[in-house]
Each structure stands twice: as structure tokens, then as C-alpha cells.
């Protein structure tokens, strides 16, 4: 073989070696990209799951608060209705039973009696009469 043939063969061998290196590097980068995509997908799924849990917690909290607000509103309605219903009877009874009380004491006694009566009427499960 001639010197030119050896140079040509060695040059060709170097080129093929370089091409194999470039091909290997390209495959490695492709695998890395695939790995990165998998990690990103896992991260998005995890964040989505966390977001769903947070939204569910907020919805449950709002439902509980709404339920508590409804119960408090129903109790207030019952107390107002009961107060209107018993006010005249309680006032007459306190004036009749305690004529010795002054106006301020009488008013306080009336308020206390009305509060007791309305609380008894609006106790859990008892409808206002």
C-alpha cells in the first residue's frame, strides 16, 4: 500500500470514529431530553394533584362554613320570632309579679325573662311557637 492510501484510510477511520462520537453524543442528549420530559411530566402531575387537593379543601371549608352560617341564621330567625311572640306576655307577667321594681330593674327583668323564654323555645330541634 502506498502512503497516500494509508493517509486516506486513517483519515477515513478518524472521520468514522468522529461520526460515531457525534452519534453517541446525539443519542445521549436525546435520552437526556426524554428524561427531562419525563421529569417535567411528573412535576406537572404532582402539581396538578396538589392543586386538586387544595381546591377540594377550600370547597369543603366553604361548605362547612355555609352550613354553620345557615344554622346561625336559622337560630337568629327563631329567636326574633320567639321574642315577638312572647314579649307582651312576659312584660305583663313581670309587671304583675314584681310591682316593687323600678323602671330600669323592671326592664332588665323583662329582658332576662324574654331571653330565657326565647332560648327555651329555640333550643336545638324545638320549633318556634
pLDDT tens track for 49-72? 999 999 999 988 888 877 777 888
Proportion of the chain in helix, strand, coil states, percent, rounded to 5: 90, 0, 10
Q: Name the least confident of 4-8, 10-14, 27-31.
A: 4-8
pLDDT tens sequence across 62-110: 888 777 778 888 888 888 888 888 888 888 888 888 888 888 888 888 8
Question: What is the pLDDT, as a whole number, of residue 128?
Answer: 45
Vertex 57: Cα angle to 56 and 59 (nearest 5): 65
> What pLDDT, on a 0 to 100 scale, did the predictor assign at position 48?
94
| Residue ranges per structural domain of the chain | 3-121
Amino acid at each position: 500500500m502506498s502512503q497516500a492510501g494509508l493517509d486516506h484510510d486513517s483519515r477515513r477511520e478518524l472521520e468514522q470514529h468522529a461520526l460515531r462520537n457525534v452519534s453517541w453524543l446525539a443519542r445521549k442528549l436525546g435520552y437526556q431530553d426524554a428524561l427531562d420530559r419525563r421529569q417535567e411530566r411528573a412535576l406537572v402531575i404532582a402539581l396538578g394533584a396538589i392543586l386538586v387537593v387544595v381546591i377540594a379543601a377550600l370547597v369543603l371549608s366553604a361548605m362547612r362554613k355555609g352550613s354553620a352560617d345557615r344554622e346561625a341564621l336559622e337560630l337568629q330567625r327563631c329567636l326574633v320570632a320567639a321574642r315577638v311572640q312572647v314579649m307582651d306576655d312576659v312584660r305583663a307577667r313581670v309587671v304583675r309579679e314584681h310591682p316593687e321594681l323600678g323602671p330600669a330593674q323592671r326592664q332588665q327583668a323583662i329582658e332576662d325573662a324574654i331571653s330565657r323564654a326565647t332560648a327555651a323555645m329555640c333550643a336545638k330541634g324545638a320549633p318556634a311557637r
